[in-house]
């Protein structure tokens, strides 16, 4: 499968966990279209764990949908999702059982890949719980990678082994189109900012055909749902979304899209940020500078197509603070007569010139993010 920019969609886990059913999926599909999410690029609607019966079908050995949650089966749901112009995603696990203790795909990879194809599945999230300890995880992800390529349907392969065995360095070789390399996100500032800081070393292992997935977004959850925790405010979410876009992570929404606040909807559909995330060059960002006394204050720059740049200042600490930024650290040599002309990515407004040096003070948990062009001073 050719996945040239970070996949975008929605996943049930963050808000609904165990509590999923056919009506919820259909209502979510309706909402993704009605609220403009599909139009903004979010095309995969993914059902996470807890969709199946507790045991395989004794006759066929197939994993079968829970007959109460999905009374008309899975094809009925996927047909509905497809009828809305969306793609349909499902979940399984490389182990004997899934993380929530439903049947996993271990030693049934080919049968299960074919079953997912029969269900009309376009995306498979593949988790890592309950794996036999004497079998290398690499082999398990390769097996499902081969099985998916043999199932007769194009299915995006979303690997999720939380980074075990430094998976960034080998997951691409399994045929995975995206991979998670952290533990689970929960809905608070510390959780998502720690995920980001832990993944800075992985930026070189992310790009077309296999993107590093920083996990499902919590934007818009405000503490509700399955991974609710203490929740975030709109400033926190602004920073989360800006970081996920700057780092070119897949964007999988995790809030209840049937009932988004206007703020969450505006953020998740912000055209400038999505264009940054989907920039066709897929260059990784690099750190330009941090505050020497505060390792949670950072600025990043990212090369974009059309010879533009994204420049971001992020305060991942709990107090307002400044970040010293010298243009020479971003590639403008000291004798050159050039600077960066900035456009604010949140407001779309002209934000002036960045010449040799700036020291923006950023409020706690906040960020500033610009599209930048090189101009003669
Ligand atoms: C693991 C994954 C989560 C979610 C749950 C489901 O914890 O990392 O994203 O899929 O399993 O049980």
Using one digit for the tens of pLDDT, what is the confidence trace for 58-94? Answer: 999 999 999 999 999 999 999 999 999 999 999 999 9
Alpha carbon nearest to ligand 1 atom 3, residue: 184
pLDDT at 288 over 90: yes
- Ligand 1 nearest atom to the CA of residue 184, by list position: 8
94 lines ligand 1 (CB under 6 A): no
Q: How far is Cα 77 from Cα 258, in angstroms, rounded to an integer?
A: 17
Ligand 1: residue whose CA is nearest its atom 11: 99
Do both 270 and 213 map to the same domain? yes
Q: Residues of the chain with pLDDT > 90: what percent?
A: 97
**158 plus 110 within the same structural domain:** yes
Q: Do residue 221 and residue 105 come from a single domain?
A: yes
Q: pLDDT-derived band of residue 291, with 50, 70 and 90 as boundaries?
A: confident
Please list the alpha-helical segments (H only) found in the chain: 13-16, 22-34, 37-40, 73-83, 109-118, 137-149, 189-198, 234-246, 262-268, 271-277
349-359 pLDDT, tens digit per residue, is: 999 999 999 99
Q: What is the pLDDT of residue 106?
A: 98
20 Cα–ligand 1 center, Å? 14
Q: Please indicate, yes or no, if residue 2 is contained in any of the structural domains.
A: no
Give yes or no for residue 173 having a pLDDT over 80: yes
Ligand 1: distance of its center to the CA of 80 in Å?
A: 25
Task: With a cut of 80, say whether residue 274 has pLDDT above it.
Answer: yes
Contact 49, 85 (CB under 8 A): no
Phi, psi of 169 (to 5 degrees): -80, -15
Distance 327 CA to ligand 1 centre (A): 42
Give 95-137 pLDDT, tens digit per residue.
999 999 999 999 999 999 999 999 999 999 999 999 999 999 9
Catalytic sites, residue numbers: 127, 184
| Secondary element (H or E) of residue 278 | none
* Separation CA 6–CA 277 (nearest Å): 7
Tell me, yes or no, whether 311 and 197 share the same domain: no
Same-domain status, 133 and 20: yes
- Asked whether residue 231 falls in the same domain as residue 367, the answer is no
Domain shared by 295 and 272, yes or no: no
C-beta 213 within 6 A of ligand 1: no
Query: Mean pLDDT of all residues in the chain?
Result: 97
Alpha carbons within 13 A on the beta-carbon side of 239: 28
For residue 349, the domain's CATH number is: 2.60.40.1180
Q: Decide if pLDDT at 301 tops 90.
A: yes
- Using 50, 70 and 90 to split pLDDT, how confident is the model at 330? very high
Whose Cα sits closest to atom 6 in ligand 1?
49
Domain end: 255, 277, 299, which one? 277
- Region 44-55: what's the mean pLDDT? 98
pLDDT of residue 71: 98
Residues 291 and 261 placed together within one structural domain of the fold: no
Per-residue model confidence (pLDDT) at position 62: 98
Residues 130 and 195 in one domain: yes
Confidence of residue 213 (pLDDT cuts 50, 70, 90): very high
Residue 323 lies in a domain: yes
Give residue-wise pLDDT tens across range 8-31. Answer: 999 999 999 999 999 999 999 999
Reply yes or no on whether the pLDDT at 1 is more than 80.
no
In a domain, 272, yes or no: yes
Ligand 1 pocket mutation pick from 50, 89, 160, 214 by most atoms within 8 angstroms of CB: 160
Q: What are phi and psi of 329, to 5 degrees?
A: -75, -15
Q: Are residues 230 and 291 in the same domain?
A: no
CATH of the domain at 45: 3.20.20.70
Whole-angstrom Cα distance, residue 257 to residue 262?
A: 11
Question: To test ligand 1's pocket by mutation, which of 48, 105, 178, 191 has the most ligand atoms within 8 angstroms of CB?
Answer: 48
Neighbours of 280 (CB within 10 A): 12
User: Are 97 and 129 contacting, i.e. CB atoms less than 8 angstroms apart?
Assistant: yes
- Tell me if 256 CB under 6 Å of ligand 1: no
How far is 37 from 180, CA to CA, in rounded Å? 23
**Would residue 99 count as lying in a domain?**
yes
Top pLDDT among 341 and 229 is at 341
pTM: 0.98
Which of 277, 298, 324 lies at the terminal end of a domain, its last residue? 277
Which structural domain range is residue 62 located in? Answer: 8-277
| Ligand 1 pocket residue status of 160, Cβ below 6 Å | yes
Ligand 1 centre from 129 Cα, in Å? 9
Do 140 and 251 have their domain in common? yes
CA of 189 to the centre of ligand 1 (A): 19
pLDDT-based confidence at 322, cuts 50/70/90?
very high
CA nearest to 170, candidates 141, 127, 200, 132? 141
Q: Are residues 124 and 205 in the same domain?
A: yes
Domain count of the chain?
A: 2
Residue at 108 is within a domain: yes
The answer to whether the Cα torsion of 165, 166, 172, 177 is positive or negative is positive
pLDDT at 244: 98
Beta-ladder partners of 252? 9
* For residues 260-280, average pLDDT: 98
Confidence band, pLDDT 50/70/90 cuts, at residue 289: confident
Predicted confidence at residue 292, as pLDDT, reads: 85
Cα–Cα distance measured from residue 112 to residue 92, given in angstroms and rounded to the nearest whole number: 9
DSSP 76: H
Point out the domain boundary residue: 277, 308, 341.
Answer: 277
Does residue 1 fall inside a structural domain? no
């Amino acid at each position: 499968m050719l996945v040239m920019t970070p996949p975008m969609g929605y996943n049930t886990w963050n808000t609904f966990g165990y509590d999923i059913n056919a009506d919820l999926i259909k209502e979510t599909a309706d909402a993704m279209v009605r609220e403009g999410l599909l139009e903004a690029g979010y095309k995969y609607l993914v059902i996470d764990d807890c969709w199946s019966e507790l045991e395989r079908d004794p006759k066929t050995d197939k994993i079968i949908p829970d007959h109460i949650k999905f009374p008309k089966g899975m094809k009925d749901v996927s047909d509905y999702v497809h009828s809305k112009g969306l793609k349909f995603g499902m979940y399984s696990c490389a182990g004997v059982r899934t993380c929530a203790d439903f049947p996993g795909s271990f030693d049934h990879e080919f049968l299960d890949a074919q079953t997912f194809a029969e269900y009309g599945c376009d995306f498979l999230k593949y988790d890592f719980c309950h794996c036999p300890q004497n079998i290398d995880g690499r082999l398990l992800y390769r097996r499902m990678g081969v099985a998916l390529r043999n199932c007769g349907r194009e299915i995006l392969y979303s690997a999720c082994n939380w980074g075990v065995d430094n998976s960034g360095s080998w997951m691409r070789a399994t045929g995975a189109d995206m991979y998670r390399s952290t533990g689970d996100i929960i809905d608070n500032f510390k959780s998502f900012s720690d995920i980001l800081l832990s993944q800075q070393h992985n930026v070189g292992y992310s790009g077309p055909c296999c993107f590093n997935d920083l996990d499902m977004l919590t934007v818009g959850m405000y503490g509700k749902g399955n991974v609710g925790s203490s929740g975030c405010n709109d400033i926190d979410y602004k920073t989360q979304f800006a970081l996920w876009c700057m780092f070119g992570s897949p964007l999988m929404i995790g809030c209840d899209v049937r009932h988004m606040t206007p703020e969450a909807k505006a953020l998740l559909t912000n055209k400038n940020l999505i264009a940054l995330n989907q920039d066709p060059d897929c260059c990784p960002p690099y750190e330009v500078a941090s505050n020497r006394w505060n390792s949670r204050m950072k600025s990043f720059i990212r090369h974009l197509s059309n010879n533009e740049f994204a420049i971001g200042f992020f305060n991942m600490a709990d107090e307002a603070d400044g970040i010293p930024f010298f243009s020479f650290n971003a590639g403008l040599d000291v004798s050159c007569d050039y600077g960066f002309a900035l456009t604010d990515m949140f407001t779309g407004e002209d934000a002036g010139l960045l010449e040799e040096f700036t020291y923006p003070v950023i409020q706690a948990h906040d960020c500033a993010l610009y599209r930048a062009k090189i101009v003669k001073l």
